[in-house]
């Protein structure tokens, strides 16, 4: 019999989502907005301890809006983590600004504050998009101090880190704006969706207006600026409400999966993604680097797992290595390139049971 496929990070519904969708159907508030979206925003505000939250069609849309609210426009320079998914950086170019790609530090795999500081000393930087990669926080204390000193608007790309904490506070709530994603592979999902959170009432009201084609509050359709169609549907808001009920459990499950891999594979020549002191990541994906002296490459492991119907994935290819961003300015130290060469993401779905995890461990160990 063919083995059941183990996916990297598939959706995991909590049970209440379908009932919430049915309630939306009964009310006929399928669209445009409605109580489920407002409730979902209230759930995120309460969980994250942030005053304003706006449910959107994607995390990418939320990043685009955050940059626009930060006043980013043509000719501006916006610093961003290079070691990330393209959605952290692409919206900078939507606004005609130039991304300045900043490498990682080995101690967190996330943005290197020293490189950021050097970049700020050399040129004016309007905003920073810092990614909390794989659910692990970047060094927010150092990064916030630099942003304060140089007048850089801090935007946290917390797409992968919902539920992660820095000094006891939720990731995404430290910057002027924070962004979460509910894409299908994230710790919780609405099948597709995102959330912009922030602290400034006026700016967040402006974000809500921009997300609905910048319609002025009059009966006829009046527009004084150009906006977007970026709001989340009420049906997806219902899924989000159900998922928020299980978010804390999902964080605990992801962390338990990470610990299991660490216990079972810890004797092999590899190291896992670190966690900075004072932070507690959501361990969205368990990620590790294989020591090249072992003679085993991540590619060999990935293909061996694939033969066993187990999905794994290389670490993100840094943005400064992407052909589309090859000409962008950057501040590099080689860290993210090394991580990309040596790293692998292991299956981290919260619906996996112990026998699934053991299957992954056995297939992984067989490569060494």
Ligand X SMILES: Cc1ncc(COP(=O)(O)O)c(C=O)c1O
Residues that bind ligand X (CB under 6 A): 58-60, 84-85, 87-88, 131, 157, 159-160, 181, 183, 194
CB of 27 to ligand X, least distance (A): 26
| Mode of pairing for the β-strands spanning 98-102 and 343-346 | unpaired
CB of 3 to ligand X, least distance (A): 28
Q: Which is nearer to ligand X, 236 or 363 (CB)?
A: 236
Distance CA 230, CA 89 (A): 18
In the block, tokens 């609405």 appear at: 190
Q: Which is nearer to ligand X, 105 or 265 (CB)?
A: 105
Q: Which is nearer to ligand X, 41 or 157 (CB)?
A: 157
CB of 103 to ligand X, least distance (A): 16
CA distances from residue 81 to 87, 116, 216, 326 in whole angstroms, order as listed: 11, 9, 36, 15
Report the residue count for the chain.
Answer: 368
Cis peptide before 32 (omega within 30 of 0): yes
The answer for residues whose C-beta is within 8 angstroms of residue 49's C-beta and 6 or more apart is 169, 170, 173
Q: Which is nearer to ligand X, 158 or 296 (CB)?
A: 158
CB of 58 to ligand X, least distance (A): 3
Q: Which is nearer to ligand X, 228 or 368 (CB)?
A: 228
Contact status, residue 138 vs residue 111, Cβ threshold 8 Å: yes
Q: Which is nearer to ligand X, 60 or 170 (CB)?
A: 60
Q: Give Rg (Cα) of the chain.
A: 21
CB of 265 to ligand X, least distance (A): 24
CB of 357 to ligand X, least distance (A): 23
Token readout for 216 is 């002025």
Contact status, residue 61 vs residue 230, Cβ threshold 8 Å: yes
Q: Which is nearer to ligand X, 240 or 359 (CB)?
A: 240
Q: How many helices (H) and strands (E) does the chain have?
A: 12, 14
Q: Which is nearer to ligand X, 88 or 286 (CB)?
A: 88
Distance CA 251, CA 282 (A): 5
CB of 292 to ligand X, least distance (A): 26
CB of 355 to ligand X, least distance (A): 29
Angle at 78 between CA 77 and CA 83, to 5 degrees: 130
Distance CA 32, CA 117 (A): 44
Q: Which residue is nearest to ligand X (CB)?
A: 59
Distance CA 285, CA 257 (A): 9
């Amino acid at each position: 019999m063919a083995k059941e496929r183990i996916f990297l990070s598939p959706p995991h519904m909590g049970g209440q989502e379908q009932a919430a969708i049915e309630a939306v159907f009964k009310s006929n508030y399928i669209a445009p907005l409605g109580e489920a979206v407002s409730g979902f925003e209230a759930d995120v505000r309460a969980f994250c301890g942030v005053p304003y939250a706006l449910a959107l069609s994607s995390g990418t849309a939320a990043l685009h809006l955050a940059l626009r609210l930060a006043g980013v426009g043509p000719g501006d320079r916006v610093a961003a983590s290079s070691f990330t998914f393209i959605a952290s950086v692409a919206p900078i170019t939507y606004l005609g600004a130039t991304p300045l790609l900043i490498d990682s530090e080995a101690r967190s795999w996330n943005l290197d504050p020293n490189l950021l500081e050097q970049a700020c000393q050399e040129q004016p930087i309007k905003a920073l998009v810092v990614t909390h990669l794989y659910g692990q926080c970047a060094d927010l204390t150092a990064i916030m101090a630099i942003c304060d000193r140089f007048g850089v608007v801090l935007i946290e790309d917390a797409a992968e880190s919902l539920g992660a904490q820095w000094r006891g506070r939720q990731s995404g709530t430290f910057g002027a704006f924070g962004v979460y994603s509910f894409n299908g592979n994230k710790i919780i999902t609405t099948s597709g969706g995102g959330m912009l959170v922030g602290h400034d009432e006026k700016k967040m009201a402006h974000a809500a207006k921009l997300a609905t084609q910048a319609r002025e509050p009059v009966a006829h359709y009046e527009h004084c600026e150009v906006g977007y169609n970026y709001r989340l549907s009420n049906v997806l808001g219902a899924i989000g409400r159900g998922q928020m009920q299980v978010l804390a459990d999902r964080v605990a499950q992801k962390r338990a999966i990470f610990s299991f891999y660490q216990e079972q594979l810890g004797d092999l020549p590899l190291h896992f993604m670190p966690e900075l002191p004072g932070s507690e990541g959501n361990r969205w994906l368990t990620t590790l680097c294989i020591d090249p002296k072992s003679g085993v490459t991540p590619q060999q492991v990935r293909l061996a797992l694939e033969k066993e119907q187990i999905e794994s994935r290389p670490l993100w290819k840094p943005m400064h290595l992407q052909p589309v961003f090859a000409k962008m300015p950057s501040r590099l130290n080689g860290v993210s390139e090394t991580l990309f060469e040596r790293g692998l993401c292991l299956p981290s779905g919260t619906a996996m049971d112990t026998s699934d995890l053991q299957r992954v461990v056995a297939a992984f160990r067989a490569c060494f």
